[in-house]
Structure 1
Amino acid sequence: MKRRKTLAATITLLSIALSIYTAGCSGARQEPVVTLDGKSIYLEDFLYDIYLVEADGSQLEKDYQANFNCSYWDSTHNGMTLREAAKNSVLASVVMYEILADQAEKNGVQLSDEELNETAATVNSIQSSSWKESLDKAGLTSDVLKKACEMHALGDKYRTQLTKDIYIDENAIRDSIDPEDYREYITECLFIPTVLLEDNTVSPLSEGEKASARRLAQKVHNKLSSGTGFDRLLNQYSSLQYYNRNFVYGDTNVEAEYQEAAMLLGKDGYSPLVATDYGYYIIHMIDNNSTTRYEQALEAAVAAEEDKQFAALYDRIKDSYNITINFDYWDTIRIGSITVPQ
């Protein structure tokens, strides 16, 4: 009898604990993160924006761990961790899209059937990803995704209407950017290394191995000078390495010796042997005056000016809203693996 009473008491305690746990989770989910003109915005409404930054961050985390043996999320920039920066961007994005969507509705802007179909396709694509189980566990269900994707689409549509009359003096922007600062050199090269890369560690070869590499490099260059092309040389010498290397003068991912030698070449020219700390290069100049990076710089400058003017318009609209942020709750949220596993 005593045993049955103990078992019953245990079941009762477990039931109470479960109800407290459930109420705690429910309470956390029901507590608004932001209140905007009396409208409560819950963590559920943040999940899509959290997913967007975590999906990008997931791959970057792997890259940082593999290449730098450190966490992407916990790396710092301008005195702030990238985790904190991502969290700030999520908060700003959610508030902005709530406001833009609200303004769209007030101004009679709606999504077309085609636009609704596009958002449905986005939802299906995300739900079909390998992260579906994690997304569902986080609460980012099809219904939540649909609501968020449609809000983003509506907000973007209203932003387009809001900025259609913005004037950007593209000629003035073009005049402010020197093409020489973005002149890109498009090259290909043969490479004979004098170092060994292993486990992300660069180790120099022995003096004897370096001498052998030098002799091979000279032999390859002599054959090139006699008319043997890169393709045939690569077939003849298995230790040769081939790379495409494009750079703007001053890029830090291309050795200074390589850049200086390449910049002396005319279009379709070949360099002498170029010695660097990592090995020997033979460079072929494909295009010594590519404008691709210059055009990209122009596009970025125009986009930055549009963003600047939009920000001024948006700030005026945002100032008309009463926004309250529940930092006691928001500060407990840790971006990084809420919707996407690390």
Structure 2
Amino acid sequence: MKPMKSNARVVILVLLVVTALIVAGCQSGGIGGKDGKPVAKVDGKVIGQDFYYKNLAIFKKNYEGVYGTEIWSVDVGGKTFLQAVQENVLDKLITDEVIIQYMQKNKVEIDAAEVEKQYKNYKEKMEKQPEVKKFLDENKIDENFIKEQIKTELYVKKFREEVEKELDLNDKKLQDYYDNHIEEYRDVQVRASHILLKTIGDDGKPMPEDQVKKAEEQAKELLKRVKNGEDFAKLAIEFSQDPGSAKQGGDLGYFPKGMMVQEFEKVAFELQPGEISDLVKTDYGYHIIKVVDKKSELKPFDSVKEEIKGKLTEEGISEKINALKAEKKIEKNLENIK
């Protein structure tokens, strides 16, 4: 039971042409302008409630396909996951309307033939996926909605291309960024051992409070013994409840940043070789961490050039969008998305 992050990959179950850009359509009265109550306005253009709920349904279908319906009650910074997604979908639709208005102001047009071509391709895929058609029918997602999605995706694509051209991220700019942020591209790995006293059962559910307290007390006692010089590996073999590492004296091998859960990683990368942590609490339980070794290797520029370009591109696009939003009168009606 290494304190590793979950690798669950979000599988897109609904084969709409948009992926991470589940985007809004563009109608003369605003996106979804006549669809129930307004959930937002961008310079007077309405984002309608029904249109919003269709987009929300797509997001919910995708998440439930991976995490199940129980995901919606999970706490995320003081609100439920459902509330967070509801607000994120609204923000996405507002961003799309801002982009559309900007592109239309600059006389950018979308080729109707391209929209028809993409819709035809999508329809052919849908006909082979009866469960997708059922989902679309249940949520009243029709041909017009899908075509407006395609149209807006094309607006967003053209917008991104325009910003990328403005940024002009040539090799010199990328090299300058690399040179000025060199430590970001140093691949540091830590070799650590740990002793784990679990606070979750084999079913992944939290243990009763009395067992959690008992685990904490045992962990504190083991920490004293380790700090007093007892052999860490022997104590790990005898007491650690991580079956994956206990037999190896708690050895987790080398790992980079991003592999372990945040609480564990933070402490492991702060410790120096030979140092032992205080108790570290994660969702798995109480850990005592000993760092055995650290190694680092600088990634060459050529291996990270595209990564830098992508990072600077996304930053440039975000800055452009934020600047455009600052010029707009944006109204949100959060009471209409509950």
Q: TM-score, normalised by structure 1?
A: 0.52
Please name the residue that 1:206 is paired with.
Answer: 218
Answer whether contact 2:194 2:289 (CA < 8 A) is retained: yes
Structure number with larger C-alpha Rg: 1
Letter in 1 for 2:276: V
Please name the residue that 1:300 is paired with.
Answer: 311
Please name the residue that 1:187 is paired with.
Answer: 190
Please name the residue that 1:158 is paired with.
Answer: 158
Structure 1 pair 49–274 and aligned structure 2 pair: CA distance change class (3 A)? same
Structure 1 pair 52–220 and aligned structure 2 pair: CA distance change class (3 A)? same
Structure 1 pair 93–54 and aligned structure 2 pair: CA distance change class (3 A)? farther
Structure 1 pair 136–188 and aligned structure 2 pair: CA distance change class (3 A)? farther
**TM superposition shift of 1:92:** 3.4
1 CA distance for matches of 2:76 and 2:99?
A: 35
What pairs up with 1:1-342 in 2 under 5 angstroms?
29=35, 42-51=48-57, 54=60, 62=70, 65-66=73-74, 71-73=79-81, 83-84=86-87, 86-94=89-97, 96-97=99-100, 100=103, 106=109, 108=111, 110-111=113-114, 115-116=118-119, 119-120=122-123, 128=131, 133=135, 136-139=137-140, 141-163=141-163, 165-169=165-169, 170-171=173-174, 174=177, 177-181=180-184, 183-194=186-197, 196-197=199-200, 199=206, 203=213, 204-206=216-218, 210=222, 214=226, 217-219=232-234, 237=247, 240=250, 242=252, 245-247=255-257, 253-254=263-264, 257-261=267-271, 271-272=273-274, 274-278=276-280, 279-283=287-291, 287-289=295-297, 291=299, 299-309=310-320, 330=333, 332-334=335-337
2 CA distance for matches of 1:110 and 1:102?
A: 22
Structure 1 pair 166–179 and aligned structure 2 pair: CA distance change class (3 A)? same
2 CA distance for matches of 1:66 and 1:281?
A: 29
2 CA distance for matches of 1:121 and 1:290?
A: 48
Q: Secondary structure of 1:274's partner? A: coil
**TM superposition shift of 1:136:** 4.1
Listed one character per residue, the Cα deviations across residues 100-127 of structure 1 (whole Å, up to 9, x for unaligned) are 4897874657527774466447867997
Please name the residue that 1:17 is paired with.
Answer: none
Task: Tell me the percent identity.
Answer: 9
Please name the residue that 1:338 is paired with.
Answer: none
Give RMSD over aligned pairs: 5.6
Structure with the larger helix share: 1
1 CA distance for matches of 2:131 and 2:107?
A: 30
Unaligned runs of 5+ in 1: 1-27, 76-80, 223-232, 265-270, 336-342
Q: TM-score, normalised by structure 2?
A: 0.52
**TM superposition shift of 1:174:** 0.3
2 CA distance for matches of 1:174 and 1:85?
A: 31
Q: Secondary structure of 2:257's partner? A: strand
2 CA distance for matches of 1:172 and 1:193?
A: 44
Answer whether contact 1:182 1:294 (CA < 8 A) is retained: no
Q: Secondary structure of 2:166's partner? A: coil
Structure 1 pair 117–108 and aligned structure 2 pair: CA distance change class (3 A)? closer
Listed one character per residue, the Cα deviations across residues 156-176 of structure 1 (whole Å, up to 9, x for unaligned) are 343245345313353486068
2 CA distance for matches of 1:212 and 1:34?
A: 58
Answer whether contact 2:95 2:321 (CA < 8 A) is retained: no
Letter in 2 for 1:153: E
Listed one character per residue, the Cα deviations across residues 130-167 of structure 1 (whole Å, up to 9, x for unaligned) are x955x64443x242552243123322343245345313
Q: Secondary structure of 1:289's partner? A: strand
Q: Secondary structure of 2:222's partner? A: helix
2 CA distance for matches of 1:125 and 1:284?
A: 54
What is the aligned residue count?
Answer: 272
Structure 1 pair 256–38 and aligned structure 2 pair: CA distance change class (3 A)? closer
